[in-house]
Amino acid sequence: MSSSTIKHLAIIMDGNGRWAKERGFKRTKGHEVGAENIRDITTYCAAHESIETATFYAFSTENWKRPKLEVEFLMKLLDKYLKKELETYQKHNIRFQAIGNIDAFSKALQKRIRDTEEITKKNTNLKQILALNYGGRAEITDAVNKLLQSEKKHVTEKDISQLLQTPYEDIDILIRTSGEERISNFLLWQLSYAELYFSKTLWPDFTSEELDNILKQFTQRHRRFGGL
């Protein structure tokens, strides 16, 4: 078996609500602890020898369907998270980027996101991407609409790739926590050849030790990209 190098890791952080319920807490407590956990996993990725990008699904286009109070809580939590994490980004030389349609967020939150991107843009150790109001189909549809406005009569995969929010960012491994085994409209294009790993652990309990074990297993797998 040949070994595989992990450059881009993507995570669907699922199970915050169940984690809280099991402990008799409100669902929002699960999100709070879940947000803290992003820091641990991100700093692990920054210290990892080959990982260049870690993408986390923090808010999907479908998450607006949640109760208004939970959505409001998530928005405030995101603002608090970015304010606090600036120190982590600078200390560990991490660049922050957002993907998704953040126009739907408050002006203050949009500013926090854009400012954090700007301040960290020269950091080179790791790129942390948060998918915010993100949907894979919406991302591909936006790219197609841009192409329709061009003069092109024929488009290639490369044309579409270049117009995605994460051009050429193919994903090596996708992890989803909490035992659910779905893609849920995450990075549909970029996941084409990704290895998929489903962990039973609820996101707030997911540790860098478990991640380390998963990545060790992954490097044993032989990725053939459709060849032999």
77 binds ligand FPP (CB under 6 A): yes
135 binds ligand FPP (CB under 6 A): no
Which listed range, 9-17, 116-124, 167-175, 213-221, lies at the site for ligand FPP (CB under 6 A)? 9-17
Q: Which residue in the list 14, 16, 37, 133 is annotated as catalytic? A: 14
CB of 28 to ligand FPP, least distance (A): 9
51 binds ligand FPP (CB under 6 A): no
CA-to-CA separations, 6 to 36, 70, 77, 89, 192, in angstroms, rounded: 24, 34, 30, 21, 15
35 binds ligand FPP (CB under 6 A): yes
CB of 56 to ligand FPP, least distance (A): 7
The residue within the footprint of ligand FPP, chosen from 6, 51, 126, 130 (CB under 6 A), is 130
Residue number with the shortest CB distance to ligand FPP? 17
The residue within the footprint of ligand FPP, chosen from 8, 31, 48, 127 (CB under 6 A), is 31
| Per-position DSSP letters for the chain, written without gaps between them | -------EEEEE---HHHHHHHTT--HHHHHHHHHHHHHHHHHHHHHSSS--EEEEEEEETTGGGS-HHHHHHHHHHHHHHHHHHHHHHHHTTEEEEEES-GGGS-HHHHHHHHHHHHHHTT--SEEEEEEEEE-HHHHHHHHHHHHHTSS-SS--HHHHHHHSSSTT---SEEEE-TT----TTSSTTTTTT-EEEE--S-GGG--HHHHHHHHHHHHHS---TT--
Which listed range, 10-18, 92-100, 153-161, 163-171, lies at the site for ligand FPP (CB under 6 A)? 10-18
187 binds ligand FPP (CB under 6 A): no
Active site residue 14: yes
The residue within the footprint of ligand FPP, chosen from 13, 102, 113, 164 (CB under 6 A), is 13
74 binds ligand FPP (CB under 6 A): yes
Active site residue 63: yes
Burial status of residue 12 (CB atoms within 10 A of its CB: 0-12, 13-18, 19 or more):
buried
34 binds ligand FPP (CB under 6 A): yes
Q: What is the token pair recorded at 173? A: 């491994």
81 binds ligand FPP (CB under 6 A): yes
Catalytic annotation, residues: 14, 63
Which residue ranges make up the site for ligand FPP (CB under 6 A)? 13-18, 31, 34-35, 38, 58, 63, 74, 77-78, 81, 130, 178, 203
